[in-house]
Structure 1
Amino acid sequence: MYNTYYGLTAKPFQLNPDPNFYFGSKGHSRAMAYLEYGLSQEDGFIVITGEVGAGKTTLVRNLCRRLQSEKIVVAQIVNTALDAADILRMAAASLDLPFENVSKAALLLRLEMFARDCAKQGKRILLIVDEAQNLSHHALEELRMLSNMQSYDQPLLQTFLLGQPEFRAILMSEGMKQLRQRVIATYHLGPLDEDDSRAYIEHRLSTAGWQGDPCISDDAFDAIYGYTQGIPRKINTFCDRMFLMGYLEELHAFGTREVDKVMADIDEEFAAPPSTEVGTDHTIAELTPASSDIDAIERRVSRMESSVTTLVDALRKMISAPLKSVSSKNP
């Protein structure tokens, strides 16, 4: 909605991981170095962990974009709430191999034959597994067994495991000793610091063609960092909301007042509603909402009405814009 109003060529704060918007912060640059080192080893597992929204998927997609496709076949598994047999099927599916109504032995044979064919062409397989914290121990063991595939002492498959912080605890558990021995590098991707958070916002805006409109004050950048704590996905969500507000209210500058308003809107919308649980032994007086609860409900209803009005206004703007353009050409 706000792209045209601010002269942007793309949506700068989309949630979908896009390597075109990759920002090499200090942490992301170190993580990229670990990934590149792992690739150079051509063997074992590389583990990257980080909080939800830290940018793990964008990091790996940027790496994949830089890989030489004639040497590496990339396969990715994103749905990991699977048992051991299903993880093999997902691996086969990601490589476009038949996997339905096939026994485990047949799956393993097809995967190995495909890997050997790739090796004959001078290629190797890179398997990227996202949300690794959801994998069962049996599924992780199947992935470890896949990593044993070799041809004349040359590894045929390498695996990147991306997961949330709890995956580190899983790796350190008693049953994961053999897998840990196959991990050649691991890195935890933390949030952006204050300087990188500002640079991240400016980088995404510049990538989308930003020419300084709207301007963002230093205090506004500080406030955004304080609210999002440097988590890229939170920054995207917040800034997208702020730019939408700027479009609707025709703003060309964002300061702390505008940032505070967006914070209040988001906090109000996601606030927990008053408890409605009722016990059989409560008196009528206890069941009567307090005035503070009534006020809170009225504020929420008012906020919902405001949100609906905002959406309607945005739709009207989108619809009326082309109509005005046509009428101006045909007086």
Structure 2
Amino acid sequence: MYLEHFGFAEQPFSLTPDTGFFYRHPGQQEALNVLLVALATGEGFIKIVGEVGTGKTLLCRRLLDSLGEDCVTAYLPNPLLSPRQLHQAVADELGIEFRRDATVQELLKCLAARLVELSDAGRQVVLCIDEAQAMSDESLEALRLLSNLETEKRKLLHIVLFAQPELDERLAGTGLRQLRQRITFGYRLEPLNREDVAGYVAHRLRVAGCPQQIFTRRAIDRLFRASRGVPRLVNILCHKSLLAAFGRGEATIDLAPVRAAVADTPDAALGERLSAAPMVWGLALTGALILAGLALVARWALGGMP
């Protein structure tokens, strides 16, 4: 499409979580540091929470890439599983052979034996679960029980949950309080601020092979307002803006292509209206105060006030 036009070696704003584009802004880097420190200290349960599109999956993949050869990793991208299916999925990830009709107790026995074997070999097992808010209460409880596998000295299994804030709402209830108490480390990913959005866009352009910033300052301002700093929305809007600029034969992206991208992205258009609402109310209030002041002045001038 527009790769040759702008001189890109690859698409800079793909929605695929590519760790080559990982941007070390303070939020993502702090979250990664929390994960690495927690795993280094042998914690059993760790939780990363963030709104839709804030980069949880990319952070998960970056964590998996960061772990050394002394770690054995298991990754579940779709945890919408029954407790039995959960045990089977973890066993598959760890390369355990088992009968497909094995009971949960038999699966737990196989898992425990494999975890002890890896621990004796000096290897740490890390299970990363993406979209953990989709898990049922029964599967979350099965996961908690799975974390009971340990020696006198250390945990045999370290579990990292990546989830939307809905998981926190569920954990706040009494039904999952035991799991809540097991989570010793956590971090909440926040949207990017305006400076981070500018740095994020420049970083992805640079990685894709374009060293200069081709988005104007006004374009970045509009991107930030429309995306509310959500990286996924930034990617969508930048991709559509590049398409619009390419169609116009333009080498830089100013307001017009971004406006077109926002208009074509319902979530961004809604976000822009919401962000503009406080300003509209502020202007309305200011106008009302001015009118009230003018009315008082008029009454005074006409002798209606002392």
Report the TM-score, using the length of structure 1 for normalisation. 0.77
Secondary structure of the structure 1 residue equivalent to 2:175: helix
Partners of 2:211 and 2:48 lie apart in 1 by 35
Give the stretch that moved more between structures: 126-135 or 149-158: 149-158
Secondary structure of the structure 2 residue equivalent to 1:49: strand
In structure 1, what is the equivalent of residue 96 of structure 2? 97
Summarize the Cα distance change of 1:168–1:225 in structure 2 as closer, same or farther, 3 Å threshold. Answer: same
In structure 2, what is the equivalent of residue 44 of structure 1? 44
Secondary structure of the structure 2 residue equivalent to 1:174: coil
Contact persistence 1:43–1:157 (CA under 8 A)? no
Contact persistence 1:23–1:203 (CA under 8 A)? yes
In structure 2, what is the equivalent of residue 13 of structure 1? 13
Secondary structure of the structure 2 residue equivalent to 1:82: coil
Determine whether 1:129 maps to 2:100.
no
Secondary structure of the structure 2 residue equivalent to 1:216: coil
Residue 210 of structure 1 and its aligned partner are, at CA, apart by: 0.6
Residue 267 of structure 1 and its aligned partner are, at CA, apart by: 4.2
Which letter does structure 2 place at the counterpart of 1:37?
Answer: V
Partners of 1:211 and 1:118 lie apart in 2 by 45
In structure 1, what is the equivalent of residue 304 of structure 2? none
Determine what percentage of the aligned residue pairs are the same residue.
Answer: 32
Residue 231 of structure 1 and its aligned partner are, at CA, apart by: 0.4
Partners of 1:207 and 1:196 lie apart in 2 by 16
In structure 1, what is the equivalent of residue 227 of structure 2? 228
Partners of 1:239 and 1:68 lie apart in 2 by 35
Which letter does structure 2 place at the counterpart of 1:87?
Answer: L
Residue 152 of structure 1 and its aligned partner are, at CA, apart by: 4.1
Contact persistence 2:2–2:246 (CA under 8 A)? yes
**Could you give the per-residue CA deviations for residues 171-219 of structure 1, whole angstroms, max 9, x where no partner exists?**
111022211221111111111111101100110110111133x721100
In structure 1, what is the equivalent of residue 214 of structure 2? 215
Contact persistence 2:238–2:258 (CA under 8 A)? no
In structure 2, what is the equivalent of residue 114 of structure 1? 114
Give the stretch that moved more between structures: 100-109 or 42-51: 100-109
Unpaired segments ≥5 residues, structure 1: 272-331
Secondary structure of the structure 2 residue equivalent to 1:215: coil
In structure 1, what is the equivalent of residue 28 of structure 2? 28
Residue 77 of structure 1 and its aligned partner are, at CA, apart by: 0.9
Which aligned pairs between 1:273-312 and structure 2 lie closer than 5 A? none
Summarize the Cα distance change of 1:137–1:266 in structure 2 as closer, same or farther, 3 Å threshold. Answer: closer
Determine whether 1:256 maps to 2:255.
yes
> RMSD of the TM alignment (CA)?
1.9
Partners of 1:219 and 1:50 lie apart in 2 by 28
Which letter does structure 1 place at the counterpart of 2:73?
Answer: V
Count of residue pairs brought into register by the alignment: 269
Secondary structure of the structure 1 residue equivalent to 2:138: helix
Which letter does structure 2 place at the counterpart of 1:48?
Answer: I
Unpaired segments ≥5 residues, structure 2: 271-306
Determine whether 1:240 maps to 2:244.
no
